[in-house]
Structure 1
């Protein structure tokens, strides 16, 4: 699987340009990459001009998701058992900005747990609970 289509690259680059021009920009993640055999997950909001450096939220499955930069080439180079590789979630969309993802993932302990909380928050009643701050 090609992790970044031409269209997705263009959207990530456009978001990077917009973030550079807007102080305090907090874009929504555009792409989600994941390990089909483990907990490692990456959410990308921007792609640098070099075509390799992504910015977003990275969670390697150790309970401490981090905002930062990661390499597309390094993610593409990961070889897993049974001939599997890192995949892109083709159905991923987000209505939440990256700061909400980062805060929720840190409180929940992972991007995957945060995804459950955030999905429920879109349909939650006022009495439903999110992870404590």
Structure 2
């Protein structure tokens, strides 16, 4: 399975071209590593390398954080029981900061709409 569909790749690249320093795009794609608690909600992809992505990263240790991730590095962690997969049903509805607030509260990435919407600022 490809990590990104063509529309997702296009949106990830478009988001990276946004030079507004206050940007807070909704995540475009959710990746996860089978057999682990590792999850990534990605909103941008470096157009030059298409290897460095920005998003909410959760390595399953209770400390999800916003930052950059090397997709080739993540793929290199695949093994006999671990595969990098794309959640085919995920649609980012809220800004990435909202998912980050929910993740910090729950100590892992949460994507359930009813839970995440509680973290939308008033």
TM-score normalized by the length of structure 1: 0.80
Aligned to 2:80: 81
| Preserved contact between residue 59 and residue 66 of structure 1 (Cα < 8 Å) | yes
Q: Deviations over 1:44-102 (max 9, x none)?
A: 000012211100010000000010000111122222334x4110101110211001111
User: Which of the residues 103, 115, 127 maps onto 2:111?
Assistant: 115
Aligned to 1:8: 8
More helix by share: 1
Whose RCO is larger (CA < 8 A, sep 6+)?
A: 2
Greater Cα radius of gyration, structure 1 or 2: 1
| Preserved contact between residue 3 and residue 76 of structure 1 (Cα < 8 Å) | no
Aligned to 1:46: 44
> For 2:106 and 2:115, how far apart are their aligned partners in 1?
14
| CA deviation after TM superposition for structure 1 residue 115, in Å | 2.0
- Could you list the runs of 5+ residues in structure 2 that have no partner in the other structure? none
> For 2:106 and 2:95, how far apart are their aligned partners in 1?
17
**How well do the aligned residues superpose, as a CA RMSD in angstroms?**
1.9
User: Which of the residues 77, 82, 89 maps onto 1:91?
Assistant: 89
> For 1:86 and 1:39, how far apart are their aligned partners in 2?
12
